[in-house]
Amino acid sequence: MAQVIESVDVDVPVSTAYNQWTQFESFPKFLHYVQEITQIDDTHNHWRVKIGGVEREFDTVITEQHPDERVAWNAIGGKDEHAGVVTFHKLSDTTSRVTVQLDWKPEGFVEKVGDALGFDERAIKNDLKNFKEFIESRGVEEGGWRGDVPR
């Protein structure tokens, strides 16, 4: 399994960063590899992504979610094997840290080479920078889901 852990500090309160991250259908606005996300219900999403020229579709389930703290998920069904967690840390009343940990099993030659060369780390770091620019330019979230999903 491959793993990436990246963080970014954003100049918005932790609740603003968390609320925006719960708006999964907005991910294509700041995650370059995400083509579309359809939220099926409170804990299930369908993803369409394009990574390294390869298009994939898969479903995810939220396995744990606590407001202003964390969102964790696993891919379900299909051949994609990955899981992740995003954590939110209050640095001050107006600044927070967003940390992404993503674990996956690279499939095929292109993904294995990309992993070996660190393309995934750079892509996630760039996407977190995009999230920072997106949320800081708005100053407010587009919405938010404050429900709790116990582990």
For 85-143, how does the pLDDT look when each residue is reduced to its tens digit (9 = 90+)?
A: 999 999 999 999 999 999 977 676 666 666 566 677 888 899 999 999 999 999 999 98
> Residue 41: its pLDDT value, please?
95
> Residue 111: its pLDDT value, please?
64
Q: Is 90 exposed, middle or buried (0-12, 13-18, 19+ CB in 10 A)?
A: middle
CB 37 within 8 A of CB 28: yes
Q: Is residue 7 part of a domain?
A: yes
Mean pLDDT over all residues of the chain?
A: 90
Q: Is residue 13 part of a domain?
A: yes
Q: Is 86 exposed, middle or buried (0-12, 13-18, 19+ CB in 10 A)?
A: buried
Q: Is residue 143 part of a domain?
A: no
Q: What is the pTM of this model?
A: 0.91
Work out how many domains the chain is built from and give that number: 1
Host domain of residue 66: 2-23+60-138
Return the percentage of the chain with pLDDT > 90, whole number: 66
Q: Is residue 113 part of a domain?
A: yes
pLDDT digits 0-9 by tens, 10-61: 999 999 999 999 999 999 999 998 999 999 999 999 999 887 777 889 999 9
Q: Is residue 97 part of a domain?
A: yes
Return the percentage of the chain with pLDDT > 70, whole number: 90
Of 69, 100, 96, nearest to 83 by C-alpha is 100
Q: Is residue 114 part of a domain?
A: yes
Give the residue ranges of DSSP H helices in the chain: 14-21, 108-116, 119-138
Q: Is residue 147 part of a domain?
A: no
The CATH number for 11's domain is 3.30.530.20
Tokens 């996407």, residue located: 127
Q: Is residue 119 part of a domain?
A: yes
